[in-house]
């Protein structure tokens, strides 16, 4: 066998391995999700832990979401302003910013921030619990660790992300209104009236629904990577890292599907 053929064979093997690994991971993640739906309806309900996780996900991400949202509102308005002035369409600024933030930018940016903060945190926390046998200790003490650790975290992200998106959207709109108020002499009342007049249920409902899915994906991936963490302490880092990458990638896929589906409904 020539060197060229050997290289080709090695590349083919590597490609085959990567494809197999992708399908195995996808299958395992789907099974993990199915287990979540099986366990979520079973008693006992871990309400105390759920509240604690809601606090962790919601309250502790709030500041980050608020600051990012404010800056995005400011920047979006500052960047769009010259072009809209050029076309004599600056009065459309509230409509344009409002719709783009509520329908797309707000949910996606908030979800990406949470993927970075929450999914990696969950991956690292559960990974470290796996490595230090805390999950085994929980199992031995008669508590279902999947129910206690995974179900509560996935529920918390699913419930909290839409709320964070609402906060993020409002602060982004406020940032935009501030620029318009300072540069264009538009009052806050006029700005927000125009924004809310421009928004319809067709904008709000799909954005809210997809925020729930975003939250679910973030919790699911973070918990999956951490729960099945391997290779000792190095595995904890890998779990945190891959949780962010996988969650971010899945968020865009879910976003595409959500936009595609809502577009069908919109046309109906």
Provide the binding-site residues for another protein, judged by CB under 8 A.
Answer: 125, 128-129, 132-134, 136-144
Q: Which of 155, 146, 176 is nearest to 218 (CA)?
A: 155
Residue number with CB closer to another protein (140 or 249): 140
Q: Sign of dihedral through CA atoms 63, 111, 215, 237? A: negative
Q: H-type helices in 41-151, by residue range?
A: 47-54, 60-86, 93-100, 106-114, 120-131, 134-140, 145
Find out whether 150 and 227 touch, Cβ atoms under 8 Å.
yes
Residue number with CB closer to another protein (6 or 132): 132
Minimum distance of another protein from residue 134's CB (angstroms): 5
Residue number with CB closer to another protein (79 or 141): 141
Find out whether 225 and 127 touch, Cβ atoms under 8 Å.
yes
The burial of 240, by beta-carbon neighbours within 10 Å (0-12 exposed, 13-18 middle, 19 or more buried), is given as buried
Minimum distance of another protein from residue 131's CB (angstroms): 9
Find out whether 80 and 97 touch, Cβ atoms under 8 Å.
yes
Minimum distance of another protein from residue 223's CB (angstroms): 15
Residue number with CB closer to another protein (134 or 248): 134
Residue 119 in tokens: 């999914």
Minimum distance of another protein from residue 148's CB (angstroms): 9
Identify the DSSP state of 118. Answer: I
Minimum distance of another protein from residue 25's CB (angstroms): 20
Minimum distance of another protein from residue 80's CB (angstroms): 45
Residue number with CB closer to another protein (57 or 93): 57
Residue number with CB closer to another protein (138 or 204): 138
């Amino acid at each position: 066998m020539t060197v060229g053929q050997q290289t080709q064979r090695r590349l083919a093997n590597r490609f085959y391995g990567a494809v197999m690994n992708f399908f195995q991971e996808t299958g395992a993640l789907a099974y993990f999700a199915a287990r979540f739906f099986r366990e979520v309806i079973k008693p006992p309900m871990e309400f105390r832990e759920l509240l604690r996780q809601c606090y962790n996900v919601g309250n502790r991400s709030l500041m980050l979401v608020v600051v990012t949202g404010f800056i995005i509102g400011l920047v979006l308005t500052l960047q769009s302003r010259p072009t809209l002035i050029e076309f004599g369409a600056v009065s459309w600024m509230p409509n344009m910013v409002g719709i783009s933030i509520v329908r797309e930018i707000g949910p996606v940016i908030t979800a990406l921030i949470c993927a970075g903060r929450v999914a990696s945190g969950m991956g690292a926390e559960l990974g470290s619990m796996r490595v230090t046998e805390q999950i085994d200790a929980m199992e031995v003490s008669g508590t279902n660790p999947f129910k206690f650790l995974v179900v509560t975290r996935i529920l918390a992200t699913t419930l909290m992300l839409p709320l964070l998106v609402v906060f993020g959207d409002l602060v982004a709109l406020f940032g935009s209104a501030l620029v318009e108020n300072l540069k264009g002499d538009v009052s806050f009342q006029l700005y927000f009236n125009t924004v809310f007049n421009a928004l319809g249920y067709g904008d709000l409902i799909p954005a809210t629904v997809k925020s729930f899915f975003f939250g679910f994906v973030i919790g699911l991936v973070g918990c999956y990577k951490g729960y099945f963490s391997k290779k000792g302490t190095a595995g904890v880092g890998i779990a945190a890292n891959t949780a962010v990458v996988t969650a971010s990638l899945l968020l865009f896929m879910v976003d595409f599907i959500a936009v595609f589906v809502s577009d069908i409904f919109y046309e109906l």
